[in-house]
Structure formats: structure tokens, C-alpha cells
Amino acid sequence: MIDKSKILGVILAGGKGTRMGGEEKGLIKLNNKSLIEYSIERLKPQVNRLVINANNNLTKYSEFNTPIVSDPLPGFLGPLAGVLAGLEYADQKGYSHIVTVAADTPFFPKNLISLFLTVAKNHNGLAIATTQDKNNNIQRHPTFGIWPCHLRKNLRTHIVNGLRKIVIWTEKHNAGEALFDDNKKLDPFFNINTPADLNTAKAVLENYK
């Protein structure tokens, strides 16, 4: 049984925002509020404490009164490096697990923790989020997951050896897949990668609760 009080929330905001012209995605405004504020508001009620994984604009991110942890390995190695940052920080602070969310996904489910806990208990404490499309195809969203701190050294080794894809590593450890309902208006894990995505989010925001 995973103790919910021993789970640290980690918001992944460590990317370079290449498809947004290099603009820091977590700080982009959506209806006069930064994207990362949506992530904070949705994740904060689900955990006792959360941190932001960021590598740039640290002064700006500090304005959200949330601790910042940067990637422990240089070179912008992708979201796995952000997961590693969260795991190593959490372990130092006495947590057993982290739950990660992306800073550019403003509509993610408000029941992440409860479903992750249900699935992860049968998969060694490790699970990632999935949804099912209209054709019953499963879509994985691996930046959203629950991760046990005891795997941190294994993850560091794989990253140093060149691994970048999250699902390759999660499959090695028999990760569970937590299936979240799609409300049919918009994929709850819809993320903003381009200016067009931002316009889509603006168009649906008032009708998506």
C-alpha cells in the first residue's frame, strides 16, 4: 500500500519549447493565466507538497511560491531527466514516490492520484496515464505518472547510457497503465506545443470543466 502522504507532486517544465519558438511553455498565458498555474491548481489539492522542475527562467518560476528543482544532468535530456530530478529530490526529503504532470497540459484530470494509486499497487508502485480514443485505441501519456523513488539510480543509469523515451523505461519495469476517461470535448491530456494548440485551448476553455 502506497502512503499518499509520501507522494511528492512534480510539475515538468524543463523543456526548451522549440515548437513555440523557444518561448517557455509553462509561462505562456492562457486567458491571462500562465499555463503552469493551471497545473499547480489541479495538482496541489491532490498532494501534500509539490515542486516545479525547470531549467530556465528560474526567477519567473520562483514567483509561484513553489520549490524549483533543475535537471541533475546537463544538456536538456528530455522529460526523463525531469522525472529523475523529482525522484532524487523526493528521496532526499523522505518521500517514497512522485507523481509527475506536464506544465503545458492545462486540463489534466483532477483524480490523477486516486487512479494512479489503484493501478500502481499491482505494478511495483509505477504507472503512467492512458486514454482511449473513439476507435478504442490506447494512447499513452507518459509524462503523467507515478514513480517510486527506489528506481532513481536505475533511471539515472539508463539516461546516462542514452535512453530518452519514457515508455521504453517504464516497460522495462512493468509499469501499470491508468486509463482515464475522455470527456469527448477534449483529450484531458491535450498539451500545448504550438500557437495553434494555444488557440484551441482558448476556444474550449470556457466549456471545459
Give the C-alpha distances (Å, rounded to integers) separating 192 from 9, 18, 200: 21, 12, 9
What's the domain range around 68? Answer: 4-207
Q: Global pTM? A: 0.93
pLDDT band at 134 (very low <50, low <70, confident <90, very high): confident
CATH of the domain at 201: 3.90.550.10
C-alpha cell of 163? 535512453
Model confidence band, residue 8 (pLDDT cutoffs 50, 70, 90): very high
Least confident residue range of 27-31, 81-85, 131-135, 137-141: 131-135
Please, what sign has the CA dihedral across residues 27, 22, 12, 84?
negative
Q: What are the pLDDT digits (tens) for 20-66?
A: 556 788 999 999 899 999 999 999 999 999 999 999 999 999 999 99
Chain segment 77-93, per-residue pLDDT in tens: 999 999 999 999 999 99
Residue 191, CB-side half-sphere exposure with 13 Å CA sphere = 20
